[in-house]
């Protein structure tokens, strides 16, 4: 049975994607594989490979959790190198700590982990650091160009309203990953039982 590469994410409104695209322009010559603007998002839970049956269970759980939590705002405050441990692998936009975002991630992750049918077998062990990957560093070229000395982080001020989470599929292609929204689930909206 074929499996699909699945994750739960917060999509960004067009004005925030545009603001991030504009902010990263000053570094376009650095050795970085930039994320397509339409692909910018905050990953909440990376599921991994899942069967169609598991995807149905993941969607059901996401709907159940989302209806219990109200919409909220997220503020992006800084563009910097990440992760903070070890050599940098990415340039990302980091969000201000958000209890609502952390709770949403925690609730989803716990529910997926405790479900017998979701296929989600291990929780993330790293501290949740909400961010948007703007680009992945091309390691050898980055070192050879001394690019770390050319990159200085930048403060930004972009705030947006989170009213839904998306169940997404990632397809790895030659030109970079392509993401498809399988289901968008509104926060705070009670949905009828579909069984």
Indicate if 41 belongs to the active site.
yes
Q: Are 114 and 126 in contact (CB under 8 A)?
A: no
Indicate if 131 belongs to the active site.
yes
41, 63, 105, 168: the active-site residue: 41
> What is the distance between the alpha carbons of residues 20 and 108, in angstroms, rounded to a whole number?
27
17, 24, 131, 168: the active-site residue: 131
Q: Which residues pair with 94 in a beta bridge?
A: 78, 131
Q: List, by residue number, the catalytic residues.
A: 41, 131
């Amino acid at each position: 049975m074929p499996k699909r590469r699945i994750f739960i994410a917060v999509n960004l409104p067009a004005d925030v994607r545009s603001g991030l695209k504009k902010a990263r322009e000053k570094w376009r010559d650095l050795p970085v594989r930039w994320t397509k603007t339409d692909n910018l998002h905050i990953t909440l839970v990376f599921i991994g490979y899942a069967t169609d049956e598991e995807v149905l269970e993941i969607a059901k759980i996401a709907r159940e959790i989302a209806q219990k939590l109200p919409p909220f705002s997220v503020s992006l405050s800084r563009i910097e190198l990440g992760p903070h441990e070890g050599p940098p692998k990415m340039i990302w936009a980091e969000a201000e700590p958000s209890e609502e975002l952390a709770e949403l991630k925690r609730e989803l992750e716990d529910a997926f982990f405790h479900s017998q049918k979701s296929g989600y077998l291990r929780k993330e062990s790293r501290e949740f650091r909400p961010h948007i990957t703007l680009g992945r560093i091309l390691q050898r070229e980055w070192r050879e160009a001394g690019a770390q000395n050319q990159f200085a982080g930048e403060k930004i001020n972009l705030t947006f309203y989170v009213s839904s989470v998306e169940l997404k599929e990632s397809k790895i292609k030659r030109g970079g990953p392509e993401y498809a929204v399988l289901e968008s689930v509104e926060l705070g909206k009670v949905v009828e039982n579909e069984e």
